Structure 1
C-alpha cells in the first residue's frame, strides 16, 4: 500500500501535468487568436454558464467514465489492452439488436436484457484477445488494435445492409429503439440523461471489486508481480482472462449507454474514439475508480469548452486536442519518473 507521502507526490505530479497541458493550450490561443480573452473565456467559463452546457459535460463524461473503468481494470492486471473501442461497438450493436427484436418484453425486463446483451457481447469479444494472450502469448496491444477494426467494420457492414432501417434513407443506422427503454433526462429541461447514474454505480462496483474482493486482490497482485502470484497458487491465465472480460463488459456497457442516452439507435461510427479516450482517462486517474470520475469530468469539460470556444471565437476546437495530447505525454512522463524512482529505491539510490 502506498504511503500518504507517495500518494501526495503522485497527485501533485498529476496536477502539475494538467496545469502544464492547459498552459500549452493557452499559449497556442494567445499566440494565434485575434481575440484571445474571448477564446479563453469561452473555453474555461462557458461550459458551466448554463444548464444545457453543464448537462452536455455530464453526458460526455458518462462513456468516458465507463471506458476509463474498463481500461483501468486491465491495466491494473498488467495487460495493456487497447480494445475498448471495438468492445464498445460490439456491446452497442448487440444491445441495439436486443432492443429492436425483444421489444415485446415488459419494460423493466426489456431494459435488463438490452444491458445484459451489451455487456455479454463486450465481454465475449474481449475474450478473443484474452485467450490469444493467455494461451498463445500473443501481444495484447496488437490483437486488441486489430480487433477494433474488425468490430467497427463488421458492425458497419451489418448496419448498412442486414439490419439497416428501410426508412433511414442514406443514413447508416438501425431502427430507433422504443422510447420506453431510452435513458430519460435527470430533470425536465436539463440535458443530462440517466446514464450518469449507471456510470457512478459502475464506479462503486469496480472500486469494491478491485479493493474489497478476492478477485480484485488477485488481479492487482498479478499486475504487480505475476511470478509471485503464481508462486502463491494464483492462476495467472485465469486472472488475466477474467480481467479482460470484465473490461470488455464495461466497454460494452459504455456503448449501449451512449446509444440509449444520446442516439436512440445504433449508428455507423457513433463512438468517435470513446474507447481510445478511455486510455487517457485511465492513465490520468492512475487506474483508480475515484480518480476516473474526476478525470472524466475534466476531459468532458475541456471537450465542451472547445466546442463553445469554436462557436464564440476565432479558435477551432482542435486546441482541445493539443491539451489532450500534452496530457498524455506529461502523464506518461510522470509514470516513467515513478518507475525510475522505484527502481532507484530498490537499488539503494536517492531520488
Structure 2
C-alpha cells in the first residue's frame, strides 16, 4: 500500500466515522424527542442558516485550530502532552497584561507585541514539563496535567485579587482591552474576527515547519524512533524541548486570540476546556495541520448545531457531546482496523 492509498484510506475512514457518529445521534433523537424532525433539521441546517451562525462557527474553530496544532506538534515528536489548557491560560494572561498596561504604542506595534508576549509565556510554561522529561525522565502526562491546575488557579487568584478591574463588581476580570489591541471583525455585520486569518496562517506555518524543514523532520523522526534519531546524531533532548515550546507558543496564541477577538478582557475561567478539546482535534486529524483545520471546523459546526437544536426543539445541546464521544470511538476503531489491515497486507506480501 503506497502513501497516497494510505492517506485516502485514512480520510475515508474518518469521514465514515463522522457520518456514523451523527447517525447514532439521530437515533438517540428519534427515541428521546417529541420533535425529532425539527431537532434534526435545526442541528444540520441551523449552523449554516445565516451569516451570524457561520461567523460563530469560524470563531469557535479558531482556538480549536490553535490547540489542535499545538498538540499535533508534540504528538508527532512522541510527547503526549496534556498541558495545552494551562499554557493557554498563561499565554492569555501575559498577553492581556501587555494589552491592558502598555500604553502609547500604535496598533500595528501593540497587537504583534501582545501576540508575541502571549506566545512567549505559553512557550516558557510549556518548556517546564519538557525540561523535566529530558532531565529526570518525568512522565509528561502527569507533569502537564498538574501544571494545568497550577496555571489555572494561579491566574485565577491574580485576576480575582491583584489585577481585578475595580469596576467589574463581583465579576472577576481585568480592565477591558483597548481598541488598538483588539482583533476586529473581518466584515461589517459578520461576527468572525481576524483571528480566523491568524489561525489559517498558523496552520500553514506548522505544515511548512513539520514537513519542509530539518527541524520538523527531526521532530517526526524522534517521535517515530528516538533511539534511531539519537544514533543518527540528533539531540533528542533538544528536539523534545523545542517541540513542547512550539506547542506552548501555539496554545498561548489560542488563549490571547480568544481574549482579543471574543471576550475583550481576560476573564476568570474563560476557557471551556479548549486545551483538552485540542487533544481530540489532533488525534482525529492524525496530527496533520490541514486535518486540524478541517476537524476544528467540523467540531465547531457540531457545537453551533447543538445550540440551534436546543433553541428549535426539545433536545438539549448536550447531545453534541454524545456525538463527539461517538466520533472519537469510531475514529479510534477505524484506526485499529487500518492498522490490522496494513499488518495483514504486509504478512500476505511476505508469504508471497
Please identify, of 13-22 and 166-175, the stretch whose mean Cα deviation from structure 2 is larger. Answer: 13-22
Q: Deviations over 1:68-107 (max 9, x none)?
A: 0001000111111111000000000000001111122222
Q: Deviations over 1:260-319 (max 9, x none)?
A: 000001001101001111111111111111111110110000000000110111000000
Which structure 2 segments of 5+ residues have no match?
Answer: none
Pairs within 5 Å for 1:65-76: 65-76=65-76
**Conserved in 2, the CA contact under 8 Å of 1:47 and 1:53?**
yes
- 2:179 alignment partner, SS class: coil
**Conserved in 1, the CA contact under 8 Å of 2:66 and 2:253?**
yes
Q: Partners in 1 of 2:349 and 2:326 — Cα distance?
A: 30
After superposition, the CA RMSD in angstroms is 1.5
- 2:191 alignment partner, SS class: coil
Please identify, of 205-214 and 326-335, the stretch whose mean Cα deviation from structure 2 is larger. Answer: 326-335
Aligned residues: 350
Which structure 1 segments of 5+ residues have no match?
Answer: none
Does residue 91 of the first structure (1) align with residue 91 of the second (2)?
A: yes
Q: 1:343 to 1:242 in 2, by over 3 A?
A: farther
Q: Partners in 2 of 1:25 and 1:226 — Cα distance?
A: 41
Q: What's the TM-score, normalizing by structure 1?
A: 0.97
Match of 2:188 in 1: 188
Q: Partners in 2 of 1:226 and 1:215 — Cα distance?
A: 14
Does residue 120 of the first structure (1) align with residue 126 of the second (2)?
A: no
Match of 1:270 in 2: 270
Q: Deviations over 1:90-142 (max 9, x none)?
A: 00000000111112222211111100110000000011110111111111111
Q: Partners in 1 of 2:53 and 2:190 — Cα distance?
A: 9
Q: What's the TM-score, normalizing by structure 2?
A: 0.96
Does residue 158 of the first structure (1) align with residue 158 of the second (2)?
A: yes
Question: Displacement of 1:338 after TM fit?
Answer: 3.8
**Conserved in 2, the CA contact under 8 Å of 1:103 and 1:178?**
no
Match of 2:227 in 1: 227
- 1:186 alignment partner, SS class: strand
- 1:192 alignment partner, SS class: strand
Q: Partners in 2 of 1:40 and 1:110 — Cα distance?
A: 45
Match of 2:215 in 1: 215
Q: Partners in 2 of 1:135 and 1:234 — Cα distance?
A: 17
Match of 1:104 in 2: 104
Q: Partners in 2 of 1:2 and 1:346 — Cα distance?
A: 12
Question: Displacement of 1:166 after TM fit?
Answer: 0.4
Match of 1:306 in 2: 306
Q: Partners in 2 of 1:98 and 1:4 — Cα distance?
A: 46
Match of 1:37 in 2: 37
